[in-house]
């Protein structure tokens, strides 16, 4: 039977934390209620054996939107007033910055502001998406259910980002080690042979001369290489701050064979889940599209959403623009078309999001399966070329001797 970590408040106001074995999360909540406690959080313990090595920064961080919205939904669902629920979350916060953020919300709510209005005054923490979701929930009198959906959205969104970042760690380490190995070989090994052959005065094969010249250049002007890399990086970052260049750059990325398809799928998942969640909670189409446009990272796809908004204002459907442009995956346009025709656009979008969440993970696995051997083979070929150049030089010297 699975084990769940729980956090609750007793009838006397004492904060309780512990673990329970139960068939489901709902069973844990029911058990806590039977004991007279107010459940705040009940999560399955998926990493019981990993507690010893989890880094401190993963336990001590700023406000987690997933935990905040889920805990607040649980407290409101237990009949606790909003201000008292926020007060309890301040006391339960494990991070001082998180406590400060929730405390600011509490002050605003006690001053007469709604939760959405209070969140809107902290734009660095709560984006337009969260604010509009909460505002729709307050207007409909369904704040608890909206907060639950919001927690689910942030959890899935964080999972998508985490899967992408985690997948890039190993190739990055492999590429770094490969580059470091080549630099060590070119800077410390090749120059030793260069001085040896220079003393002999023997004319070496062209391949050997090129490799030895590259080693000498790298050894003598390594600082210039670092300066070029740093300068190029700074120039690229500055140019990416220019809207026109950023759009051209992002469109170029979309056109790359493997990377472009992966970027399009990630952005399609974000687009579909954000728009579907907003529409299902009563946010108007144009407002939802404006929020979605701000959540996308690729400027080329932002341009597509802008055109979708403009055409929607004129009464055209979303699918028409998505299919005509072609930068979003075609499945998105077809599913949106089906949703518009059936009057169930929200559910169609959420299905698309689920599809691309799975496809992104599969695409990353396939890309890694291709990238790892490419890096290893490329490193082997470069090292092999260096060794062959040295052997050719040695053979040329032996031919001269005999």
In the chain, where the domains are located: 3-45+62-156, 251-364
The predicted structure's pLDDT at residue 399: 55
**Strand 38-44 relative to strand 15-21, pairing:** unpaired
The predicted structure's pLDDT at residue 54: 32
The answer to whether domain 3-45+62-156 and domain 251-364 are alike in fold is yes
- The pLDDT mean for the chain works out to 79
Determine contact, residues 181/187, Cβ cutoff 8 Å.
Answer: no
DSSP state, residue 13: S
pLDDT at 215 over 50: yes
CATH of domain 251-364: 1.20.81.30
The model's pLDDT over 181-199, given as tens digits with 9 standing for 90+, comes to 777 777 777 777 766 666 6
DSSP state, residue 16: E
Alpha-carbon torsion angle 299, 305, 308, 313, nearest 10: -110
Residue 55 makes CB contacts below 8 A (sequence gap 6+) with none
Tokens of residue 137, six digits: 């929930």
Whole-angstrom Cα distance, residue 348 to residue 331?
A: 11
The closest of 216, 162, 158, 157 to 192, measured between CA atoms, is 216
Whole-angstrom Cα distance, residue 225 to residue 230?
A: 9
The model's pLDDT over 137-180, given as tens digits with 9 standing for 90+, comes to 787 677 888 888 788 878 877 777 777 777 778 778 877 887 88
Scan for tokens 């606790």, then name that residue: 80
DSSP state, residue 54: -
- State the CATH class of domain 3-45+62-156: mainly alpha
């Amino acid at each position: 039977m699975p084990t769940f970590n729980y956090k609750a408040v007793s009838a006397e106001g004492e904060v309780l934390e512990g673990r329970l074995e139960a068939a489901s999360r709902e069973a844990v909540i029911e058990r806590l209620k039977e004991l007279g406690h107010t459940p705040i959080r009940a999560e399955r313990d998926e990493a019981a054996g990993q507690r010893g090595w989890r880094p401190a920064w993963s336990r001590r961080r700023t406000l987690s939107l997933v935990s905040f919205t889920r805990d607040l939904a649980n407290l409101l669902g237990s009949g606790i007033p909003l201000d008292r629920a926020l007060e309890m979350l301040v006391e339960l916060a494990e991070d001082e910055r998180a406590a400060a953020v929730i405390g600011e919300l509490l002050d605003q709510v006690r001053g007469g502001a709604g939760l959405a209005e209070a969140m809107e005054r902290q734009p660095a923490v709560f984006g337009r998406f969260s604010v509009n979701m909460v505002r729709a929930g307050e207007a409909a009198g369904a704040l608890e259910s909206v907060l639950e959906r919001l927690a689910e959205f942030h959890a899935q969104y964080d999972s998508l980002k985490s899967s992408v970042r985690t997948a890039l760690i190993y190739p990055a380490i492999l590429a770094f080690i490969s580059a470091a190995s080549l630099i060590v070989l070119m800077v410390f090994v090749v120059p030793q042979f260069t001085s040896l052959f220079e003393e002999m005065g023997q004319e070496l094969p062209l391949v050997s001369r090129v490799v030895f010249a590259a080693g000498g250049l790298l050894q003598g002007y390594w600082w210039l290489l670092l300066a070029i890399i740093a300068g190029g990086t700074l120039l690229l970052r500055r140019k990416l701050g220019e809207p026109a260049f950023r759009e051209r750059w992002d469109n170029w990325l979309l056109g790359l064979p493997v990377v472009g398809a992966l970027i399009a799928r990630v952005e399609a998942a974000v687009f579909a889940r954000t728009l579907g969640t907003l529409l299902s909670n009563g946010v108007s189409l144009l407002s939802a599209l404006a929020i979605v446009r701000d959540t996308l990272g690729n400027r080329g796809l932002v341009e597509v959403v802008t055109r979708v908004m403009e055409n929607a204002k004129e009464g055209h459907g979303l699918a028409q623009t998505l299919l005509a442009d072609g930068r979003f995956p075609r499945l998105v346009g077809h599913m949106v078309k089906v949703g518009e025709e059936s009057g169930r656009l929200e559910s169609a979008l959420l299905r698309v999001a689920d599809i691309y969440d799975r496809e992104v993970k599969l695409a990353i696995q396939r890309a890694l399966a291709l990238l790892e051997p490419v890096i290893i083979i490329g490193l082997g070929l470069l090292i092999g070329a260096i060794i062959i150049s040295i052997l050719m030089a040695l053979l040329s010297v032996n031919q001269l001797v005999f």
